[in-house]
Structure 1
């Protein structure tokens, strides 16, 4: 890439900031945005290049402001595009910020406000990816190899289990189950890492507390509880030390380690700090209220001392304190990142964004009312003000129902009403505090035929077809997996009844004789501790084989026929038990016919089942070798699934997004989103707001406030030197409850401010199984009072059940067994088949239909005619509009096979990246790193990245590149983006590398990780034309080559297309 100096990328002379009229500068930015900025937005966009915080209220356009600030800084010549570092929390948010920034910069470049030779590439990534990149580049400084693996789902728990099982730390007298110890140890490890606390410091604190409590002449009950918790915390600290040592010895990391080690690197090396500050003269930190103490310390160490850092966030939306974030970071940003004025440190300024462009005024007024206590806690937060929009005043509704079932029905009614009013399901969202609330509502909505999109709630392992395949795997792996075998036997495929199951159970135990417990109590205790030898367990699988061979006289003929088929099926699968888990899953689907059944039923449900099974296979395929390099086995994979369930890290599965569906998600997942109509159910006492987080005095996995840098004053000093008492502990609990309520209030504020036009808030008195009433929570009460005061509508408000009332939902219920999950559909199919048979036999008398039913039948005929017409139309050739913007690869495919490209445009299908494609991507990332150019995303974020850790072919390619002459050359550009107009269309792409020689010639290089097959001269031709037009270099001075990295061969096409040749592909001859 041509060298870029500050201010050298402008199209003309650049005066100081006051040299050009402010109005002209503001007008340029507003032209890029396509709409005017408010005064407060312009103040934030054009702020001086110094540390500053922007407190951005909900719906105030913070992403637009950040992207506009990047454009303003570049246009004004303060920084080059690649001198901007933007950090945020999710890859989606990073992509959005990067996309907007590129769009604004490209528009500015096209208007001549930025030199056309400048590559418009800010560096934007997630906080964790930034830390991971530091580890890749400099990890050797702290003993971390660049190829250290990041532990995936379940792998971390598996290594933790190894540590706990092998420790010499006494745990038996702590009275905790092994799984409980493992979970507590991992939570403490996370907490210590997020707080940048060494386990030894927490261990010393626990030991000091133990000594203080032991020395008390008389302890109250809370003192005894704290002593037990402190002893357990001391043990956990020792386990954390052992766990961290195990991770180092195996060269593996978890996400918390990435920040922890990155911080150690930056603290250790002044060269790394200097390089970061020189490379990024401007830093933007998004969602700063959700950063942890360790992340803040990393950023302080890297970009402190007055470096221009802009933090954007909202303390009223700090909803992730439960996972290590601290709102203290944004509150104290002016002190943590002071500016330097005349050699003195001064608090950084704050800017405010309060103009909300999302919600109607009625909704904003309620949100401001609910957030008033939060504004009193946080400096610089202004009430939201309604900007001028066409979304109306907004509508607020609330309801309190007798039971949770009534509330669920009311929510469904509200959704149907909104659909009737607005004509679409899309735009309606249900946001809840708890996932189980969403699952109940989803079931009711689906029963009514309302399409839904459930986000991040449904457990993958709970999907029926996944659960059945998993049960088959369990039976193949362990003949004594009787629970899984029973699931198969009573499930929808085999459907054995109670009598046959009992007969099969008798057959399983027939040869074992009567079981007899030892008479001696000590002997019974020893037996309970030692467990049972698996060889002594009855096996339903063996009983199935025996029944198939004719044993078990009291098994019915129908059941025996099914058992014969099941026995043969399991025998066929058992021969492939040692196949890789993913391949075995595919074989199970083929042998059992479940693969065919995935496609049966309504299209949406079939798609959900197929995607769930695809996700399960992907999970098996991504199941890494165990720590230490052992081969992946079925037993190991199943054990990993069980660990994930025990440690509450089982994978979830989002429904397929549908074009017109109601969205259901937790409030935490809704952060940053907006919907025209929002319903917030479950706003009940003990549910929302719910109970607070675990408190450290009686929970050993929680770090004491006395060790925390972000401790509130009222909590740090407990217990006082005289020791804990019931009175002082009560005050501590009250102060903790106030803080917990503030966290819940932030969550309510986030939920309410997602709504544009409608906000409906509801609750209930009776939960599904509670014996005491719940009633309205504090936030629902506030909404109710607001509505009765004229701010909204109280739809229904049930009276309190009163003393002595009984939960009506606790009435005795019955259900048929075995359960048939497909009973309704099965009954409908049987009835339809019966009617068809009657019609064929002439036994079905025509019955005149009422007008309304005749209209339904006529609609069926109309739909059938349309489907037939659509099918005929699909067989006719049709034209497909060519999009305005194409990638270079699109242009190559259009030239090579226009029909196939047209088909892809008409029916786009996702393509799963192959291992070879991932290897190619990884090679490009690595080569880029060799030239010390900042990449946007870390390799660990790529799908299947864990496969690359052990990719020997990738390692061979890296070695081959280092032997090539290109490894010793300095490129002019790496991964250079381009955009050119050809034939009236925008062609975008990215050039792998550009080199120059002493004679002024240019060589464009495209790295290839594979062989010579599939090379397209046209691709290099596009790159030549793009580079020529971007830099003004004549085409005849530009060469282009494919470099086959593996073999070292260089392929140079003899003849390449000109601009006219390329345009003819788009416009025709």
Structure 2
């Protein structure tokens, strides 16, 4: 390795050879910089990943570095994959061109000339020929140096920061006495361990519960504190001493204040009496005596001091809780990522030669997203690669992860950590934006320039301040559109966002047509790109009105899988049922369940009045004291709800959270509703929810209460609640948080909710008042943070009192606003060409208005200062509407609101007048649906039928409807009549096709299509009920607890069925098939994905049991059958289920080969061994099929889709 290059090929040569863009001057400086510690401050969209990929290629070619000797680090697995792909692409392109040059230099030169004239648009022939001569000379020299295409393709190691820490521990931990075999745990497991520690904690924790806080918030707070202890490598004994010292100081000041008040009280009373007696001499003497004493504290200072005493006392106790937490993890051989990073820091202090080993192994180290590294990560990376060829790339304006441990000073402290001579460390800048059009850059630079000015005010080094971004070369300054508008309510704001996205939808439709024409013309290469869109929200609560409006308009959108799952109406209902079971006082969850069962407003009011008379909680009255004024249908439905809750309560003490969730879904009838086309209850969402629970249960000691508390906290803290790598559908609007949007880009971006308290939010914190914030003096980045001390002082000469934390209000607010400004900068720079910024005065049903936030006011131009401490006045007017340059012309009938409203929030009035909503369908037991039970339902249905019959020919207006059907029913029918009616298509019809139903596609059965179109409950079958009971019994025998579900009750069986059941059980117990096999899984649910993207299919399935053969390791997938063994002519009907099971297992277990997996039906009705098992191989052999392949299944499903299209056309649907 050479630290300076002997340049064989220059950056331009390599850009041509690797099919990259020609480098700019600032990029070339980064690419060619010597192999020494280098900091690159790179703005948003400046091509940093591309530039470091080109730097990698340059030094592989010119510095005699093997790609295997290069290490790239970033934060997430997704970013790791993207970085690795970019590196591999550039090196592979170079390898291909090297092979072409070796094979035929003359052809190679002709091709390079063509690229220079075509892609690079060079027109000067002499320049081209000179460039080609130097290029070929360089390639000859590269050959002579021993470089080959095989070496270029040898692969770069790309990893996450956490994975590298784990790797160092695995390799060298034993040298420091660390045992192997530790398991990396998730946040859910950390939550459970901390919960268990607190349940058995015998000492008193000095903690005053915050208003609105829960046990889950308390646990999460302690976990956050424990994580920061690791992130900043804090010694717990030092931490305890600091808390104790600050506690002593605060107590001393508080005691002194109390004594001062005691001394002042009689003096003030005497002075007042002297004044009343007109004794001026005594009054003056008492005044002088009072003046000679210390100034008293303000009432706020006293409150803050009392709070500080509480927090410091809690901190002393919390240290011991964290110590117990760490001990418990070690006993369980568990470690989270922060544990591993801290352990690596300690390991590198003890074992000196690790650094030498890693520097020899990796000759070039590339650190991406460096602004997000923690102090612990800085320390271990510094210990490994100090004074080495380290290139760190980051943007201080995109530092948005301080809340999860990122250092506040990683960029500016890079030289100190990575060089013995910090002043000599080079700092280069990438400031050309290749993403944003000019209009968007102008708005982003408004924020960037103010952040830079604030940093200069704070004395930051100019080398580490990100300058304004510049427009890409050749781009027109007129490109791009930035729109903005303030609205009265968030409902109006959501409508405006939808209007903005209607523009995107029109552009998308046009682009799709152009792409189709492009493909029809037979053109080669990449087709035209499709425009993309996103809505970026500071908080998840902002999403809800926007999602409702997008759904109403039919604008397709996509949430992250976990967000989509938790917002699914079915998942919300299951959570509500589980919440009521563990916490009967949870009235919000109970109301959701009452809504599910269509309780009228009158019935709810009757129950509420009964609660008022009896003094019992609402939920207790609902369970027992049912008022006579509740309607008969209401009482009937409440009885059903009571029965559901009682059944869940019966199992909560022994069933796992996963079993409880499945049981709740079945009891609520969601398993049926999920199969209806157009249903709001999505089975895939519930599957993701179950995966979240499974992830939480990994520690093996999960409780339902702990899971629900963790989930509530994870949502409120904007945390991730599972690891799902879902495919992004670019034809849908992505609705995500700003934090999740980092590193992504779209053509159209809407950023709603830019009001004070939301974006920027108002959660400023001082560690002296916050139980769960690590004391700043303990943090590794403390020099970059505000300095808070217990210092009581007079702020002005005329101020006759002393203040405490009030003196820090300004610095605290500015520090927080700068962090929020970084987040706004990230949000705005995600947009390529269209940006819509909005705010509303009223959010939801709030009574008070929310002022326009600092980041909305950037639309007002230079007069809007982000870091201005003045608060907007009451009744403020933003700007004259005619002068507001960013007002869009596509608002239609949505009126912007530039002046703070004096009237009340109209959303409140609408909410109060709203009707109690009813679900579209309810799965009540058949015996409950009788005319005499629901007389008003029958009458209402008759009137509705009459009305709809008339409306089919002559659509009524609302007045005519009200006269024909009085009361709330007319409103509901009118709403239903005018609701958008999405047209069914074949993809909707086959969206959920179970593995057991695929055979019906093979039979071209119209009855099956009709059943898919409007699913009806199948008549109860004694054989089916017997099968359910037998499956449940087998699951219990194999170790899975069976839940008491009514459909599986043996008490309902007649004598003949009981005899059959006994025979099945006896056959199962004597099965030779089970000998030598170990249970791997029981009742396993999943989905097989066939095809790719929008053309793919999802086949949900449930496998009865999975075994592993002990002798050879073969996996056996088994489906229990209580029917007879089929005859060979029937085998075709039994092909698909087992075939799909094997494809699924191969898809989810890529380490296995097809010969490692056997699938079989096991027939429990057969007494003879040879008839008990039917394998997939036997079926394939009979049908003369070599195998059951994904291509075969995909072809069948596509044929079914075609038939479904014809079926819908025939039925005019």
TM-score by length of 1: 0.68
How far 1:240 sits from its partner (Å)? 1.8
CA distance in 2, matches of 1:646, 1:421: 36
What is the rounded CA distance, in whole Å, between the counterparts of 2:583 and 2:738 in structure 1?
A: 43
Separation in structure 2 between the aligned mates of residue 696 and residue 844 of structure 1, nearest angstrom: 65
Q: Distance in 1 between matches of 2:535 and 2:195?
A: 38
Question: C-alpha distance in 2, partners of 1:673/1:845?
Answer: 48
Q: After the TM superposition, which of the residue ranges 695-704 and 655-664 deviates more from structure 2?
A: 655-664
- State which of 433, 436, 449 in structure 2 corresponds to 1:372: 449
Which residue number in structure 2 is paired with residue 115 of structure 1? 148
Q: 1:793 maps to which residue?
A: 886
| Match of residue 321, structure 1, among 380, 391, 402 | 402
Aligned partners of 1:102 and 1:914: how far apart in 2?
Answer: 39
Structure 1 residue 367, shift from structure 2 partner: 1.8
**Contact kept in structure 2, 1:106 and 1:120, CA below 8 Å:** no
Alignment partner, residue 404 of structure 1 = 490
3-state SS of the aligned residue for 1:615? helix
Residue 514 to residue 569, structure 1, CA distance change in 2 (3 Å): closer
Q: Indicate the SS of the match to 2:558.
A: strand
**1:275-290 mapped onto 2 (5 Å cutoff):** 275-290=357-372
- For residues 353 and 1111 of structure 2, the distance between their equivalents in structure 1, rounded to whole angstroms, comes to 30
- Per-residue CA deviations over 1:374-425 (Å, capped at 9, x if unaligned) read 2342533332111136686212222223343333333333333454466479
Tell me the residue number matched to 1:618: 691
Call closer, same or farther: CA 1:263–1:456 in 2, change over 3 Å: farther
2:721 aligns to what? 651
Deviations 1:625-645 (A, max 9, x none): 54xx65x67677567657767
Indicate the residue corresponding to 2:1190 in structure 1: none
How far apart, CA to CA, are the structure 1 residues paired with 2:422 and 2:592? 70
| Whole-angstrom distance in 1 between the partners of 2:1100 and 2:982 | 39
Taking a change above 3 Å as real, the CA distance of residues 953 and 81 of structure 1, as seen in their structure-2 partners, is farther
Q: Choose which of 249, 257, 267 in structure 1 pairs with 2:339.
A: 257
2:818 aligns with 742
Question: SS of 1:715's equivalent?
Answer: coil
1:330 aligns with one of 400, 407, 411: 411
Structure 2 gap segments, 5+ residues each: 99-141, 258-296, 511-529, 796-800, 864-878, 889-894, 925-936, 957-979, 992-1000, 1005-1087, 1115-1148, 1159-1213
Gap change, CA 1:318 and 1:483, over 3 Å in 2: closer
2: CA distance, partners of 1:499 / 1:867: 38
1:465 Cα deviation after fit: 0.8
Higher relative contact order (CA 8 A, sep 6+): 1
SS at match of 2:755: coil
For 1:901 and 1:740, the matched residues in 2 are separated by 45
Larger deviation: 723-732 or 39-48?
A: 723-732
Q: Deviations over 1:345-384 (max 9, x none)?
A: 6531011111111111222133223211223425333321
* Separation (CA, whole Å) in 2 of partners of 1:772 and 1:480: 31
Partner residue, 1:230: 312
Please state whether the residue corresponding to 2:487 is helix, strand or coil: strand
State whether residues 453 and 655 of structure 1, in contact with CA within 8 Å, keep that contact through their aligned partners in structure 2: no
Is residue 660 from structure 1 mapped to residue 736 from structure 2 by the alignment?
Answer: no
Note the C-alpha offset of 1:286.
0.4
Deviates more, 1:703-712 or 1:666-675: 703-712
Does the 8 Å CA contact 2:59/2:65 hold for their aligned counterparts?
A: yes
In the TM superposition, residue 709 of structure 1 has moved relative to its aligned partner by 3.3
RMSD of equivalent CA atoms: 5.3
Aligned partners of 2:484 and 2:887 also within 8 Å? yes
What secondary structure sits across from 1:741 in the alignment? helix
Give the superposition deviation at 1:27: 1.0
Change (3 A) 1:834 1:269: farther
Question: What is the SS of the residue equivalent to 2:443?
Answer: helix
Instruction: Pick the aligned partner of 1:354 from 424, 431, 437.
Output: 431
After superposition, the Cα gap between the structure-2 partners of 1:643 and 1:155, relative to the gap in structure 1 and judged at 3 Å, is farther
CA distance in 2, matches of 1:319, 1:720: 30
SS at match of 1:330: coil
Matched residue, 2:160: 126
How do residues 454-469 of structure 1 correspond to structure 2 at under 5 angstroms?
454-455=559-560, 458=563, 460-469=565-574
CA distance in 2 between counterparts of 1:418 and 1:161 reads: 47
- Partner SS state of residue 168, structure 2: helix
**What is the 5 A alignment of 1:675-824?**
675-712=746-783, 715-716=786-787, 718-720=789-791, 726-727=802-803, 729-785=805-861, 793-795=886-888, 798-801=897-900, 806-811=904-909, 813-814=911-912, 818-822=916-920
CA contact (8 A) 2:348 2:354 kept: yes
**In 2 relative to 1, CA 351–163 (structure 1 residues): closer, same or farther, beyond 3 Å?**
same
Deviation at 1:692, TM superposition (A): 4.8
Shift of 1:275: 2.3
Q: Is the 8 A contact 2:250 2:305 kept in 1?
A: yes
Q: Partners of 2:785 and 2:822 in 1: how far apart?
A: 20
**Residue 244 of structure 1: how far off its partner (Å):** 1.7
Pair 739,345 (structure 1): closer, same or farther in 2 beyond 3 Å: closer
Distance verdict in 2 for CA 1:1013–1:757, change over 3 Å: closer
* 1:59 Cα deviation after fit: 0.8
1:768-816: per-residue Cα shift (whole Å, max 9, x none)?
45554433222322221259999953458744337x7655544474256
C-alpha distance in 1 between matches for 2:78 and 2:21 = 24
Report the secondary structure of 1:45's partner residue: helix
- For 2:594 and 2:1094, the matched residues in 1 are separated by 45
Distance 1:452 1:861 in 2: 15
Question: For structure 1, which runs of at least 5 residues remain unmatched after alignment?
Answer: 1-5, 8-14, 517-531, 850-858, 878-899, 920-950, 958-1005, 1016-1069
Q: Distance in 2 between matches of 1:1011 and 1:133?
A: 32
Distance change >3 Å, CA 691–CA 901, structure 1 → 2: closer
Question: Aligned partners of 2:575, 2:382: CA distance in 1, in Å?
Answer: 48
Residue 54 of structure 2 corresponds to residue 59 of structure 1:
no
- Secondary structure of 1:218's match? helix
Closer/same/farther in 2, CA of residues 440 and 457 from structure 1, 3 Å limit: farther
Query: Are positions 1:17 and 2:12 aligned together?
Result: no
State the match for 1:1046 in structure 2.
Answer: none
- The TM-score normalised by the length of structure 2 is 0.60
Shift in CA distance, 571/328, structure 1 to aligned 2, threshold 3 Å: closer
1:563 deviation in Å?
7.1
Distance verdict in 2 for CA 1:281–1:761, change over 3 Å: same
Report how far residue 331 of structure 1 moved.
1.6
Cross-structure match for 2:1134: none
Q: Distance in 1 between matches of 2:1100 and 2:381?
A: 36
Q: CA deviation at 1:818?
A: 4.9
Deviations 1:661-684 (A, max 9, x none): 222222222111111122222222
Q: 1:576 to 1:785 in 2, by over 3 A?
A: closer
Tell me the secondary structure at the aligned position of residue 814 of structure 1. Answer: helix
Deviation at 1:432, TM superposition (A): 2.6
Cα 1:447–1:1012 change in 2 (3 A) is closer
Would the aligned equivalents of 1:481 and 1:539 in 2 still touch at CA under 8 Å? no
d(CA) in 2 for partners of 1:504, 1:215? 55
Q: Does 1:218 align with 2:227?
A: no
Q: Give the aligned length.
A: 845
Q: Secondary structure at the match of 2:912?
A: coil
1:887-913: per-residue Cα shift (whole Å, max 9, x none)? Answer: xxxxxxxxxxxxx99978995457999
Matched, 1:431 2:536: yes
Cα separation, 2, equivalents of 1:913 and 1:142: 48
Taking a change above 3 Å as real, the CA distance of residues 720 and 844 of structure 1, as seen in their structure-2 partners, is closer
Q: 2:28 aligns with which of 30, 34, 42?
A: 42
- Answer whether contact 2:221 2:772 (CA < 8 A) is retained: yes
- 1:68 matched to which residue of 2? 54
State the alpha-carbon separation in 2 of the partners of residues 954 and 76 from structure 1. Answer: 55
CA distance in 2, matches of 1:781, 1:500: 48
In the other structure, the counterpart of 1:385 is: 470
Distance 1:388 1:471, change over 3 A: same
Over 3 Å counting, the alpha-carbon distance change for 1:244 and 1:599 in structure 2 is same
The 2-side partners of 1:561 and 1:636 are apart by 33
